[in-house]
Every structure is written in C-alpha cells, then in structure tokens.
C-alpha cells in the first residue's frame, strides 16, 4: 500500500502523462518543433494551475476550473506574469484543444472546456497618418527627374484620392479612367465581375494627366501587347506589380522622413482616406460606398479611429480634461 504522498505523485503523473500524449499527437500531425514547444509551455502552466487547486487527474477537471485558469492568466493570480488578451486567447485555444483530445480519446467523459470562450480580442483600429504627413509623402514621391517620379506621384495621389486597394490600382487599364473635366472618375474592380466607380480628386487628376501625357509614353516604349493598356508601368514597360507599388510607397515614406516609415503600407493611405473623409463630415454610408465595403459596420471602425483621435486631442489640450 502506498502512502498518501505516493498516491498524489501517481495521480499527478496522470495529468502529465495525458499532456505528454497530447503533445505526441500534435507531433504526429506534423507541427513544427517551435509550435510544439509553445503548446508544451502553455499547457505546463495550465497543469501547474490544476495541481495547485488539487486536481490530479484529467477526469477531475471541471468547467469552472478552466474558467478559473482563464482568469488567472489574465490577472496573474496564479503567481505568474499576467498575459495580454491576445496571448491569453492563444493559451485558452491550447487548453480547449487538449480537452477536445481528452474527450475524443476517452480519457475523460466530457470536454470540460467546451463552454469556455477565449477572451474577447480588442478591436484594432486602422492606422492613419495626418493630412500633413500625406502631403509630405506625396511630395516626396514626385521628387527627381525622368518618368518614374511622375508615375510614383500619380500612383500615390490615386490611392489617397480614391481610398482604393493597391491591387485595384495596379490592375487599372486605360479604359477604366474617365478624365473628363466635369466628372473625372475611375472604375475599380472589386473582385470578379463586381466593380465600383470612384470620383477622382483634382490633385489626383492633375498628377495622373501629367503622368499619362509626359511620363507613361517613355515607360510604354518597351511594353508588349498584354501590358500596353495598363495604366501603371514599370521601367521594363510591363504592368507595375503590387510589390513594386509597395516599394514606391515605402521609399517615399523614408524620403519624407515620416514617423514609422517602415510600417507604412498602401493600406495606410486607404485608412487615411476614410479617416480624413469622416473627420470632415462625410456620411459613413458614403464612405462605405467609396471603399467598397459590403457592410457599414466595417466602415464604422474608421469613425471609431476618428473619435479616438479627437479624444486624445481633447485630453491633451483642454485644461479640465484631466
């Protein structure tokens, strides 16, 4: 007959043995060594928590134990570092996966984590840059001699003027442009047969006209039949790629010495377009149409970004704000 200490050790090993079986199962599925180590690290913390509350075997774990662990990792009440919402969500996903395995393999009768949901992820607001930084970016794109600076200025002006995605702009053909003085516009392919028409601002129209009349002919001299109708060409006369357009923006951001130039992307101009429109009183449904969003709830994120900026400005400036 074993003493109580030996019994506890045997029962404790049942948790560790079940965890080892799960990690082996994950390895058989082809997960990388780094991923396996991450699972092991997360679930080791879970098992240590279970042992601290007296659980010694998988079939002793109840749903309230899993919920208690979720609270512990968010608050640090288990004596370890509290986790961010995203890290806690990752850890809870690992716990849920282990409990599904335990129930599926008959190690436990029920899935104790079935009703437990990961912490809600904070909604990330789109990153926008100021109107002043947009101006600096556009000016920097047009610096230099030859056809390329004119193309780069036109490209970025068009992105900011329409709020278009980079794939929509590099996919433009000449027939998609309406440069009439009265109602200049551009036809953008959203995907498949779906299209939308976006008005073209005066600045973008001017930059585009300069590029098409003075710069594009030089770039198009080497274009083959498939690319000669593309609006934006590279120096080989073929259609500008998404990667090259990304490089154009990143290079201009560095030349303009913008803060966080390394993380500015073509989507930054799309976010800035929406945020600046809403800040100047545009109706959210109008911005929804211009962006090509299927749901207005997607567009309302930009309104939240605008409200956050207003709140920060108020807090910083108003004498009674703090």
Instruction: Give dist(CA 301, CA 294) in Å, integer.
Output: 14
Task: For residue 293, indicate whether it is catalytic.
Answer: yes
Residue of 39, 160, 211, 302 marked active site = 302
Indicate whether this model's pTM tops 0.85. no
Give the pLDDT of residue 295: 61
Residue of 165, 216, 239, 306 marked active site = 165
Task: For residue 270, indicate whether it is catalytic.
Answer: yes
Both tokens of 50, joined, read 């279970």
Task: For residue 318, indicate whether it is catalytic.
Answer: no
Task: For residue 25, indicate whether it is catalytic.
Answer: no
Could you tell me if residue 76 is left (phi over 0), alpha (psi between -120 and 50 degrees) or otherwise beta? left
Q: Express each pLDDT in 237-277 by its tens digit.
A: 899 999 999 999 999 999 999 988 888 888 888 888 888 88
Show Cβ contacts of residue 104 under 8 Å, excluding neighbours closer than 6 positions.
none
Residue of 216, 270, 276, 306 marked active site = 270
> Could you give the domains of the chain?
4-104 (1.10.150), 131-317 (1.10.443.10)
Q: Express each pLDDT in 141-184 by its tens digit.
A: 999 999 999 999 999 999 998 888 898 999 999 999 988 878 88
Residue of 136, 151, 216, 293 marked active site = 293
* % of the chain residues with pLDDT over 90: 42
Q: Express each pLDDT in 42-99 by its tens digit.
A: 999 999 999 999 999 999 999 999 999 988 988 888 888 888 777 888 888 899 999 9
């Amino acid at each position: 007959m074993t003493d109580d200490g030996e019994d506890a050790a045997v029962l404790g090993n049942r948790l560790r043995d079940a965890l080892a079986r799960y990690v082996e199962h994950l390895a058989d599925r082809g997960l990388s060594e780094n991923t396996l180590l991450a699972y092991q690290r997360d679930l080791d913390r879970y098992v240590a928590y279970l042992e601290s509350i007296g659980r010694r075997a998988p079939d002793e774990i109840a749903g309230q134990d899993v919920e208690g662990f979720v609270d512990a990792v968010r608050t640090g009440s288990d004596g370890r570092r509290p986790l961010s919402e995203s890290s806690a969500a990752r850890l809870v996903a690992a716990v849920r996966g282990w409990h599904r395995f335990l129930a599926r393999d008959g190690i436990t009768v029920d899935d104790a984590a079935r009703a437990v949901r990961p912490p809600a992820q904070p909604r990330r607001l789109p990153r926008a840059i100021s109107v002043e930084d947009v101006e600096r970016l556009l000016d920097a794109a047009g610096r230099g001699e030859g056809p390329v600076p004119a193309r780069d200025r036109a490209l970025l002006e068009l992105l900011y003027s329409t709020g278009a995605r980079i794939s929509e702009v590099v996919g433009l053909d000449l027939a998609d442009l309406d440069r009439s003085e009265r109602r200049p516009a551009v036809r953008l392919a959203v995907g498949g047969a779906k299209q939308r028409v976006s008005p073209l601002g005066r600045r973008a129209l001017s930059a585009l006209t300069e590029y098409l009349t003075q710069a594009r002919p030089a770039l198009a001299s080497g274009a083959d039949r498939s690319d000669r109708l593309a609006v934006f060409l590279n120096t080989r006369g073929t259609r500008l790629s998404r990667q090259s357009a990304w490089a154009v923006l990143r290079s201009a951001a560095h030349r303009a010495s913008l803060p966080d130039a390394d993380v500015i992307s073509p989507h930054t101009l799309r976010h800035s377009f929406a945020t600046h429109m809403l800040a100047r009183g545009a109706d959210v449904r109008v911005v929804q149409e211009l962006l090509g969003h299927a749901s207005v709830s997607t567009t309302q994120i930009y309104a939240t970004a605008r409200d956050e900026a207003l709140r920060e400005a108020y807090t910083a400036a108003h004498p009674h704000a703090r």
